[in-house]
Amino acid sequence: MLERLKNIGLSDNEAKVYMAMLELGPSPVVEIARKAEVNRPTAYVQIESLKKKGLISMLTKGKKHLFIAESPEQIEFIIEREKGELERKTEEFKKLLPDLMAAFNVSGQKPQVRFFEGKEGLIKLQDEFLKNKSKESITLSSADDVMNIFPGHPQKYTPRRVQRGIKSRLIYTSSKGPFLKSDPSLLREVRFISPEKMPFGLDVSIYDDIVSISNLKGAISGVIIRNQSIANSFRNLLNFIWNSAEEVK
């Protein structure tokens, strides 16, 4: 029961105090604290919190202040109120987002850098790639290392890229040789470089004004650098490698 109350938004101590009050009926703080197995100061704090949520009321009997739990049905009203408040905040955020993005992008020539840690971080970095506005990219990648971390990468990620109409130019290294091929249906052109000629343990993608770098060995991590000048320089470098690499059809 306590866990279910916590799942709908009550803290651990709020749930204990509310359950104690449901069982006790109108009671002073000392009895509520004893029943809930918390100290009196904690009970006072939780009672005040529950009062603000509309789950507790107080009555005076002589010189004593007694507290009583409101009907559990009141929780449904609280959830509906919070749902409405969340919808209001969501709408306000949507209105505010363009201004926030303008402020985020107003830094001029100063590069914007974001870091991503671990495998989950690289998944988020891949999701950022799918926001590609130019609908084209060029990537230099260690296919062996990508497949080691994400064995199902081609089956899971490529359809998402294709669905968004993003064209990919991929330069890759692999100990397996040139196993990936150009495929118009997958919006993909491919070049291969032997790992003996160019040992490589990263995945570097250039799109829009962004350089996206994934470290695929050791401490897995990623970084996104947003700057037009830096992106153009990396794009020129990868174009040079592209023109020097073996075409795979």
CATH of the domain at 63: 1.10.10.10
Whether 18 contacts 50, CB under 8 Å = yes
What is the DSSP secondary structure assignment for residue 206, as one 8-state letter?
A: E
Q: Which of 69, 90, 120 is the last residue of a domain?
A: 69
Which pLDDT tens digit goes with each residue over 185-233?
999 999 999 888 888 889 999 999 999 999 988 889 999 999 988 999 9
Residue 94 lies in a domain: no
Same domain, 42 and 135: no
- Per-residue pLDDT band at 143 (split at 50, 70, 90): very high
Q: What is the mean pLDDT of residues 85-102?
A: 80
Helix (H, G, I), strand (E, B) or coil at 200: coil
Q: What is the mean pLDDT of residues 6-35?
A: 83
Same domain, 62 and 162: no
Residue 90 lies in a domain: no
CATH of the domain at 238: 3.30.870.10
Same domain, 125 and 243: yes
Q: How many CB atoms are closer than 10 A to CB 74?
A: 15
Q: What is the spatial distance between Cα 157 and Cα 30, in angstroms, rounded to a whole number?
A: 59
Number of domains the chain is built from:
2
Q: Residue with structure tokens 């690499």?
A: 245
Range of the domain at 60: 2-69
Which pLDDT tens digit goes with each residue over 35-45?
888 888 888 89
Q: What is the spatial distance between Cα 202 and Cα 183, in angstroms, rounded to a whole number?
A: 23
Q: Which of 44, 69, 94 is the last residue of a domain?
A: 69
Candidates 28, 23, 58; CA nearest to 15 is 23
